[in-house]
Amino acid sequence: MTQLENPLLARVTIDPAVRFGKPCVRGHRIAVQEILEWLSSGATQEQILADYPQLEPEDFRAIYAWAAEMAAERTTISE
Protein backbone atom coordinates (compact mmCIF):
# COMPACT_ATOMS: atom_id res chain seq x y z
CA MET A 1 0.00 0.00 0.00
CA THR A 2 1.38 3.39 -0.93
CA GLN A 3 0.87 6.81 0.66
CA LEU A 4 -1.79 7.43 -1.95
CA GLU A 5 -3.65 4.35 -0.72
CA ASN A 6 -3.05 4.99 2.98
CA PRO A 7 -2.66 8.65 4.01
CA LEU A 8 -1.53 7.54 7.47
CA LEU A 9 1.84 6.68 5.96
CA ALA A 10 2.51 10.39 5.41
CA ARG A 11 2.83 10.72 9.19
CA VAL A 12 6.06 8.71 9.02
CA THR A 13 8.84 10.88 7.64
CA ILE A 14 12.40 10.14 6.64
CA ASP A 15 14.90 12.99 6.62
CA PRO A 16 18.63 12.25 6.31
CA ALA A 17 19.30 15.21 8.64
CA VAL A 18 17.08 13.81 11.41
CA ARG A 19 18.14 10.74 13.40
CA PHE A 20 20.47 9.63 10.60
CA GLY A 21 17.53 9.09 8.26
CA LYS A 22 15.59 6.74 10.50
CA PRO A 23 11.83 6.83 9.98
CA CYS A 24 10.33 9.25 12.50
CA VAL A 25 6.88 10.43 13.46
CA ARG A 26 5.79 13.60 11.62
CA GLY A 27 9.23 15.13 11.47
CA HIS A 28 9.81 14.83 15.21
CA ARG A 29 12.96 13.18 16.47
CA ILE A 30 10.95 10.23 17.78
CA ALA A 31 11.91 7.18 15.74
CA VAL A 32 9.28 4.68 14.69
CA GLN A 33 11.63 1.89 15.78
CA GLU A 34 11.77 3.28 19.33
CA ILE A 35 8.01 3.39 19.66
CA LEU A 36 7.67 -0.15 18.33
CA GLU A 37 10.33 -1.32 20.80
CA TRP A 38 8.56 0.41 23.71
CA LEU A 39 5.24 -1.13 22.72
CA SER A 40 6.77 -4.59 22.34
CA SER A 41 8.37 -4.20 25.78
CA GLY A 42 4.96 -3.67 27.33
CA ALA A 43 4.54 0.11 27.35
CA THR A 44 1.04 1.27 26.54
CA GLN A 45 0.08 3.97 24.10
CA GLU A 46 -1.14 6.02 27.05
CA GLN A 47 2.25 5.80 28.76
CA ILE A 48 4.07 6.84 25.61
CA LEU A 49 1.65 9.72 25.00
CA ALA A 50 2.20 10.90 28.58
CA ASP A 51 5.97 10.93 28.03
CA TYR A 52 5.75 12.44 24.53
CA PRO A 53 2.80 14.85 24.43
CA GLN A 54 3.75 15.97 20.91
CA LEU A 55 2.52 12.61 19.67
CA GLU A 56 -1.11 12.08 18.74
CA PRO A 57 -3.15 8.88 19.03
CA GLU A 58 -3.37 8.75 15.22
CA ASP A 59 0.43 8.49 15.09
CA PHE A 60 0.19 4.96 16.49
CA ARG A 61 -2.09 3.90 13.65
CA ALA A 62 0.47 5.38 11.26
CA ILE A 63 3.28 3.44 12.93
CA TYR A 64 1.30 0.19 12.66
CA ALA A 65 0.53 0.92 8.99
CA TRP A 66 4.21 1.65 8.33
CA ALA A 67 5.29 -1.56 10.09
CA ALA A 68 2.77 -3.55 8.05
CA GLU A 69 4.18 -2.02 4.87
CA MET A 70 7.72 -2.94 5.87
CA ALA A 71 6.67 -6.49 6.74
CA ALA A 72 4.86 -6.87 3.41
CA GLU A 73 7.86 -5.49 1.55
CA ARG A 74 10.23 -7.81 3.35
CA THR A 75 8.01 -10.80 2.61
CA THR A 76 7.92 -9.87 -1.05
CA ILE A 77 11.69 -9.48 -1.23
CA SER A 78 12.41 -12.83 0.42
CA GLU A 79 10.05 -14.85 -1.77
Q: pLDDT tens track of the chain, all 79 residues? A: 555 578 899 999 999 999 999 999 998 999 999 999 999 999 999 999 999 999 999 999 999 999 998 998 765 544 4
Q: Tell the CATH topology of 7-78.
A: Arc Repressor Mutant, subunit A (1.10.10)
Instruction: Tell me the CA end-to-end span of the chain in Å, nearest whole number.
Output: 18
Q: Where are the domains of the chain?
A: 7-78
By the 8 A CB rule, do 33 and 24 touch? no
Please indicate, yes or no, whether the overall pTM of this predicted structure exceeds 0.85: no
Chain centroid to Cα 11, Å, comes to 8
Q: By C-alpha distance, which of 46, 59, 43, 53 is closest to 7?
A: 59
pLDDT score of 54 = 96
Whole-angstrom Cα distance, residue 58 to residue 32? 13
